[in-house]
């Protein structure tokens, strides 16, 4: 009987491990206060861990993907679209200790249960939460128009400062001047998908201009498939071989 129970328990643990293992392995970046751990989750969603702080970015699609992840101290949401502001996934996660960093457009649509957790910042504004400096960066489509999928001022990209490192999260944007003019970015997450953001060629050109030390292509699902991230890597490194392009699977199934 004991043997059966042990084997059953091992089977359950094995199944859980298998589901967690389908996510790509977490990466690490050294900072002045220990490693920054980067865990891709899905599409634009990721978990950042640093200095005993856990940050969820745009939690989306399936709460099962967060099995094994610690509860967040901060949640960053970039935009009102459902692949960034996913209240169904949010409600299924343990957000009991979390503060939510959001633009006003997101705050206006958040369920009442989160209202006392919100820190609202808009483009150009700064805040400090859990010892992390956060600046809101514009994200929008070009050419600018009132009926664009992403209008200027509605959503936020973010620049985070942690342990002397600067991390840029693009959100849904094209290769706007505000991105091209970024300075001293250590890690960047750059979107590329049509018709919502920008093509691979524009993303690569902008990346080569602002020269992050490390760049992850993310948010690369198109209407009819996926953007060619290998071409993105080749174009970036053709312009600047010193930029480390990290290709990871942002569409693993939990």
Closest of 43, 37, 12 to residue 25, by C-alpha: 37
Q: To which residue do tokens 């091992």 refer?
A: 10
Task: Note whether residue 203 is domain-resident.
Answer: yes
Task: Note whether residue 1 is domain-resident.
Answer: no
Contact 188, 30 (CB under 8 A): no
Task: Note whether residue 60 is domain-resident.
Answer: yes
Least confident of 60-64, 105-109, 138-142: 60-64
pTM for the model stands at 0.90
Is residue 29 helix, strand or coil?
strand
Q: Look up the domain containing 177 and give its range.
A: 25-245
Q: DSSP letters of 18-70?
A: HHHHTSPPPEEEEEBTEEEEEEEEETTEEEEEETTEEEEES--S-GGGGTTPP
Task: Note whether residue 138 is domain-resident.
Answer: yes
Q: What is the pLDDT of residues 187-230, one digit of tens each?
A: 999 999 999 999 999 999 999 999 999 999 999 999 889 999 99
Task: Note whether residue 18 is domain-resident.
Answer: no
Task: Note whether residue 142 is domain-resident.
Answer: yes
Q: How many domains does the chain have?
A: 1
User: Residue 101's beta-bridge partner residues?
Assistant: 76, 119
CATH number of the domain bearing residue 173: 3.60.15.10
Task: Note whether residue 48 is domain-resident.
Answer: yes
């Amino acid at each position: 009987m004991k043997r059966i129970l042990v084997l059953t328990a091992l089977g359950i643990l094995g199944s859980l491990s298998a589901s967690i293992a389908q996510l790509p392995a977490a990466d690490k970046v050294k900072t002045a206060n220990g490693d920054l751990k980067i865990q891709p989750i899905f599409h634009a969603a990721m978990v950042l861990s640093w200095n005993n702080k856990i940050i969820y970015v745009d939690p989306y699609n399936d709460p099962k993907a967060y099995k094994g992840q610690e509860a967040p101290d901060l949640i960053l949401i970039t935009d009102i679209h459902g692949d960034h502001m996913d209240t169904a996934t949010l409600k299924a996660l343990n957000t009991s200790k979390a503060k939510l960093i959001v633009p006003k457009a997101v705050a206006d649509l958040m369920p009442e249960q989160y209202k006392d957790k919100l820190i609202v910042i808009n483009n150009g504004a700064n805040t400090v939460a859990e010892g992390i400096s956060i600046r809101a960066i514009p994200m929008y489509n070009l050419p600018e128009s009132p009926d664009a999928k992403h209008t200027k001022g509605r959503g936020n990209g973010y620049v985070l400062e942690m342990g002397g490192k600067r991390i840029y999260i693009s959100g849904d944007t094209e290769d706007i001047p505000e991105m091209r003019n970024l300075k001293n970015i250590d890690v960047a997450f750059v979107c590329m998908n049509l018709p919502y953001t920008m093509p691979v060629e524009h993303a690569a050109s902008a990346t080569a201009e602002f020269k992050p030390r490390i760049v992850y292509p993310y948010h690369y699902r198109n209407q009819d498939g996926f953007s060619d991230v290998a071409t993105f890597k080749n174009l970036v490194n053709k312009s600047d071989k010193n930029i480390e392009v990290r290709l990871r699977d942002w569409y693993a199934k939990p």
